[in-house]
Structure 1
Amino acid sequence: MNGLYDEIRVAVHSVWTRRWLVLAVAWGICILGWLAVASIPNRYDSRARLLVDVNQILPDDGTGGSFGAGQQIDQIRETLTSARNLEKVAATTGLIGADAGERDKAGAVAMLQQNIKVVPQQQNIFELTSSVGIGSLSDADNAKLASGILDSLITVFRDDQLRGGRVNTREGLKFLDSQIADREKGLREIEARRAAFEAQNIGLIPGGTGSPAQRVEAARAELGQIDSQLVSAQAQLAAANGQLASTPQSVPGVGGGVGGSVARQQLAGAQNELSSMRARGLTDAHPDVIALKSQIASLKAIADREGSGGGGGGMQN
């Protein structure tokens, strides 16, 4: 323990004797470090959040979606940082001049691809970050360039989408115009065939004036009137048949019995009433018709029984 303490005292004493040399070395290291740090340009970051309508850029084809969520995000990221867009951004922000060569353009595009990050936060929200630290520019210029790169990138992306939307709309309008023209052509052909048919068959509808269509409608109206008249005549015929059926074929004579004459008169009245019921449209299943039929059957039996018992003749009606 004492030996270690002695060694520490010896080391401290040797450093103290050379303190000015150590101080000079420390100051030299600090100055070199400060110069190195000062030579590093300041980097300025600019951030923006972009809301993208994924369905408008990558529309669903109606088959359940050919793009998954990850594929849609990758597609939009590649569209944002494509070489064509970044070349437009470099030209807009002044990183390359109007007469820049292909090598300068490729270098500017590579620099932007390294300094621009696209991070998806949600399915349709993306965070854009541009980091700029060019040593030949001042801090204010670097800060302005970082903000301008994002503004130009968003503007180029928006213009491309609007231009694509206008192209799609123009193509859709052309398609609709072609469909309308085809329908118009078809309608004209149908009208021409109809006119030719009317001209060839105008004599098939006798009498009347006006166009064939009007004459057909008039004929249909006349046919409807005839049908209604036929129905009325059939109803009158049914009533006449009912009255004829209720009229007895013979009128009881003087020599006939009084009982037989009364039974036949009641039978004739019942038959007349039955015919009236049928003329009113009552069927054989109606309760009144059933009761009247049973009464007619009993009256026929009485009339036949009294007529067979003698006592009477009659004269033909």
Structure 2
Amino acid sequence: MEDILRQAVGVLRSMWRFRWWGLALTWVVGAAAAVVIYTMPDRYESTARVYVDTQSVLRPLMSGLAVQPNLDQQIAILSRTLITRPNVEKLINMADLNLEVTSGPQREQLVGELMSGLRIGGTGRDNLFTLAYRDGDPKRAQRVVQALMSLFVESGLVSKRQDTDTARRFIEEQIRNYEEKLTAAENRLKDFRLRNMALLDAGGRDYVGQLAAVSAQLEQARLELREAINSRDATQRQLQGEDPVLLPQMPNAAGVSIPEIDGRIDAMRKTLDALLQRYTESHPDVIGTRRVIEDLEAQKLKEIEMRREAGPGQFGSLNANPVYQQLKLVLSETEARIASLQARVGSHEARLAELRASAELLPKIDAELAQLNRDYDVHKRNYETLVQRRESANISVEMGATSGIAEFRVIDPPSLPLKPAAPNRALLMLAASVAAIGAGAALTFLISQLRPSFADGRSLREVTGLPVLGTVSLLGDPRREASERRGRYAFAGGVAGYAGAVAVVTAALKMLQG
């Protein structure tokens, strides 16, 4: 630390020898800076403030129905990206600055000046933006700020409409694409069902489900068939204990009826009507029922013929006792039901055999059907979502056009500056005076290094590397001391004069600017 202080003191002593050179350069640089600062052209700043109101009563009311863009973020991005070359060229035409340029280089220079001079500042949270521009002509600065404010408002509205139109066009295009995909998926599903109609289940069940369902139906039909057979056997056993009572023949044989056969025919016809309500003519139950009816009618005709041949006493209408006739009717109904159940059991057995024979084919069909249904469901869900988004976009457009979601309000119109905003000559003068002092100090240091001197023998020995045998002291001389004292006073006066001159010039420039 002691060595550093000793070296610093040595450097200052060397610089002190050439202090007049530094003072002279300080005066020269300071005077030149004062002239340059005084001759700098004035620049006038025009400003305007715009408030963007992004709050609307409709926004919370239409939440969930309309698209709610982040308007604050959009406006902030707009303020940072507004000053671009296309916008600046448009601003030149809006502010009539194109009348002042006559060549391409001049226009390029003007574009560069505007892009570097235009400023848009915002508070960030309150959406309050300040637009400013400096120019040598106050009216021209005002025109530029007016054009920039108009461009700011128009760009905000146009960009919002462009974003909405672009989104709507994209959604419409996607809807058309998904309509085509949905139609193609429907056609593939329809063709697949037509090709495999005989193997597909109407309930949409897979192979295992179909097999289980048919097996369950077959077991149920067999159970009902056994119950019907047992019921028929029980009825027949009851009929063995009842004797029919025959009454005289009716005069006309054509009107003869056989109750037990007619009851069975009526029961079978009711069953046929019930089957036709559920199945077609080609259904096995319907065909079996019709066959039973035909057999009963043939049996009736045969019985009438036999009684006609037996003689008039035996040909007539049978009228058994009520219990016997009721049991006959129950027996005929039971036999009709047995025939129907037998046909149903045969149909289920054929269906089950068909399913078991297609054991290898049906799982592939089920997998392909599941894939087709999955693709169709995905396309349909995306299509419905896009349609919903399109309606939301339409509502958003209508809401924006009706209520003005983002409203631009001019708080302060572009001002016409009366006083120059730049340059700040007083501040520049103070900075230039400090710079002049630094230039003078640098000159003294440079000369001291070019013409070094040694203040003591130790410094001389360290620099030359030679032994110093001794030093000669300078004797005091009153006249020399008085001369040095006058020199110090003169230097102090020069420094004080420089400081006073800087203060006077700074005050004068401030008064001139203010």
Considering the TM-score relative to the shorter chain, is it more than 0.5? no
TM-score (norm 2): 0.26
TM-score (norm 1): 0.40
Larger relative contact order (C-alpha < 8 A, sep ≥ 6)? 2
